[in-house]
Amino acid sequence: MFSFIPFIGRGYLEKHMNTTTDPKIKTLQFNSPVPDIRLDKYLTQILAQFSRAYLQKLIGQGYILVNGQRTKANQRLNKVDRITVELPPLPVRPLAEPIPLAIIYEDEDVLVIDKPAGLTVHPAPGHPSHTLVNAVLAHCPGLAMSNELMRPGIVHRLDKNTSGLIVIAKNDFAREYLAAQFKSRTVTKGYLVLVKGRLSPEQGVIEAPIGRDPYSRQRMAIVETGKEATTQYRVRKYLDAYTLVEVTPITGRTHQIRIHLSAIGCPVIGDPTYGIKSAHLNRQFIHAYRLGFRLPSTKQYQEFTSPLPMDLEQVLEYLAQNA
């Protein structure tokens, strides 16, 4: 059933938001003509300056309560529900740092960067600096901001220990244009991955929902209540008891490639969390070698590629010599 959610402006906020003695805590009294709205969807109307993802994060961390109780982002609200929102202090904008960048393409809207392994994409609690964002800010001080100040220009991510191609938006128009392509799954993403075992059949599709591991909140896992996740793969080369695989993730779940390959009995080499450690590699063998999208400036599709870094090439050479 289609439901219409009206725009909620400043006057509505002033009428329905009561400030407690603590100026950080705002109490919202739900009173909308639209019944049965998800909590996170409703809050994006009330607190439009924040992204839905950020509000979901606050709900999960207990900053947002319904009737004094912790809840989930998908809770359906009633008119009698009372919502308490505590807004934690906003982080400051990351500082620019002169970290070298391998820029393979740049125009007025985007940067395409070949990210090295070991470089975190954006600052986070406990890791406030020495990230790709800090490096890009030094190159492009006017980088597009987002509702989450620690991720200016970021429209997708790579794991810290994954190398390869990442696109950065330089302005708000480019960020929205790129984000729409990722959302509609029209962006081409290709990864080269080395796994333990002889992957068979040589081409296939892995479909298994991914969510937070109920036994370890620091990990993701295949769980029935998780979000849909689909990964396509094609074998590039067999190296004795190993397989070099070209992987195309259709969805973009956290740690998706690592989890899906492990689930079919072919764990990623060098991945201590979901795969197996390697005596020849101190990081996971995953390289984002291909990235294609429509450029915001021309609307034309363009594809970029990145060769395997030396550390990954050396592992393949070693396995080929000792097969």
Among candidate residues 40, 109, 114, 159, the one labeled active-site is: 159
Percent of the chain with pLDDT over 70: 84
State pLDDT tens for residues 69-104: 899 999 998 878 888 888 766 556 788 899 999 999
For position 105, what pLDDT does the model report?
97
Say if residue 66 is in the same domain as residue 123: no
Q: Count H helices and E strands in the chain, helices first.
A: 7, 15
State pLDDT tens for residues 22-42: 445 555 666 555 678 889 888
Structural contact between residues 199 and 236, judged by C-beta atoms closer than 8 angstroms: no
Paired residues of 167 in beta bridges: 112
Closest CA to 118 of 105, 135, 104: 135
Say if residue 301 is in the same domain as residue 225: yes
Token pair of 178 as six digits? 């790129």
- Is residue 159 part of the annotated active site? The answer reads yes
Say if residue 142 is in the same domain as residue 239: no
Say if residue 251 is in the same domain as residue 265: yes
- Judged against a pLDDT cut of 90, whether residue 188 lies above it is answered with yes
**Helix, strand, coil percent values for the chain (each to nearest 5):** 20, 30, 50
Say if residue 323 is in the same domain as residue 189: yes
Of 66, 86, 106, the last residue of a domain is 86
17 sits in which H/E element = strand 17-19
User: Is residue 49 domain-resident?
Assistant: yes
Q: What is the CATH number of the domain that holds 106?
A: 3.30.2350.10
Average pLDDT, the chain: 85
Of 69, 86, 103, the last residue of a domain is 86
Residue 143: left (phi > 0), alpha (psi -120 to 50), or beta? Answer: beta
Token pair of 254 as six digits? 């956290």
Q: How many domains does the chain have?
A: 3
Of 136, 152, 184, the last residue of a domain is 184
Say if residue 76 is in the same domain as residue 100: no
User: Is residue 2 domain-resident?
Assistant: no
Structural contact between residues 77 and 37, judged by C-beta atoms closer than 8 angstroms: yes
> Domain residues for 131?
91-184
